[in-house]
Amino acid sequence: MTLLEHLAELRHRIIVCVITVVLGAIVVYFLYDHVLNFFLHPYCEILKSGHSTQKCTLFVQNPIDQLTVRLKVSFFGGCAIGLPVLLWQLWGFITPGLNTNERRYALPFTIVSVLLFVFGGFVALQTFPLALRFFHAVGGKNVGTLYAPDPYLRLVMLMIVAYGIAFEFPVLLVALELVGAVTSQKLRKWRRGAIVGVTMFAAVITPSSDPISMFAMAIPMYLFYEASILVGRLLKK
């Protein structure tokens, strides 16, 4: 293919991705109340457990915020729904440039990366209620809460993205082992440093900065570190 043909193919794939995200966003736009209730569930459970008479709602001060929040949730929801199509278009674009050996590794790596990202998002959703309870408890009984939708939903989405990125850690390590940048022997020697490094990384990247979320990220990352040593040795053999 010529350069112009490559650009034409790239344009076609970008158009497909945009249409996919738009269609997904439209679906989420009409299901917005259900999506918002799903994210609000941890907050509502905390209010119920504390026998609070406060209504489980988010409050805005600007009339436009109602629309902007709905559009943001719809956009990110559309990206989440269209993720398989987006990755498939990316895969279809880069595959012709790979040789047989690279193609053999690329597809499993892509599939594992997607699964780990989804697993990271799942762990984030399980951790968020615990982190929210921690914030409510540490504030004391005399401190009430009045959340705005933008910071509340931003925290949830950032936690999903942060955990998803952090759980790509074993993919990076195994890739470095395959290209010879590191060896499984070196990784075994670096265990103590890895514990410190993983803990510091989790403390920095966790959006909520609470100890529960930090350890919920750091412990699986270190387990991934140990698993990547075994996987790297098997693949090298």
Q: What pLDDT, in 10s, does the model give residues 54-72?
A: 778 888 888 888 899 999 9
Is residue 208 a contact partner of residue 184, using CB atoms and an 8 Å limit? no
E-only strand ranges, 114-168? none
Q: Enter the tokens of residue 16.
A: 């497909």
- Mean pLDDT estimate for the chain: 86
Write down the pLDDT at residue 102: 67
Write down the pLDDT at residue 23: 96
Distances (CA, A) of 119 to 96, 116, 125: 29, 5, 10
What pLDDT digit, counting tens, does each position of 158-210 carry?
Answer: 899 899 889 988 888 888 887 778 888 888 888 888 899 999 999 888 887 78
Residue 18's pLDDT band (cuts 50, 70, 90): very high
Q: Which amino acid belongs to residue 229? A: I
If one counts every other C-beta atom within 10 angstroms of the C-beta of residue 154, the result is 14
If one counts every other C-beta atom within 10 angstroms of the C-beta of residue 28, the result is 20
If one counts every other C-beta atom within 10 angstroms of the C-beta of residue 138, the result is 9
Residue 119's pLDDT band (cuts 50, 70, 90): very high
d(CA 184, CA 224): 13
Q: Which segment of 32-36, 60-64, 115-119, 126-130 scores lowest on mean pLDDT?
A: 60-64
Q: Enter the tokens of residue 78.
A: 């559309």
Distances (CA, A) of 91 to 76, 195, 199: 21, 34, 33
| Alpha-carbon torsion, ordered 166, 168, 172, 178, to 10 deg | 150
Residue 20's pLDDT band (cuts 50, 70, 90): very high
Element (H, E) at 229: helix 211-236
If one counts every other C-beta atom within 10 angstroms of the C-beta of residue 25, the result is 19
What is the number of alpha carbons within 13 Å of residue 182 lying toward its C-beta?
Answer: 17
Q: Which of 132, 138, 134 is nearest to 156 (CA)?
A: 132
Write down the pLDDT at residue 177: 82
d(CA 98, CA 46): 51
Residue 95's pLDDT band (cuts 50, 70, 90): confident
Is residue 15 a contact partner of residue 89, using CB atoms and an 8 Å limit? no
Write down the pLDDT at residue 78: 92
Q: What is the mean pLDDT of residues 142-163?
A: 85
Write down the pLDDT at residue 53: 67
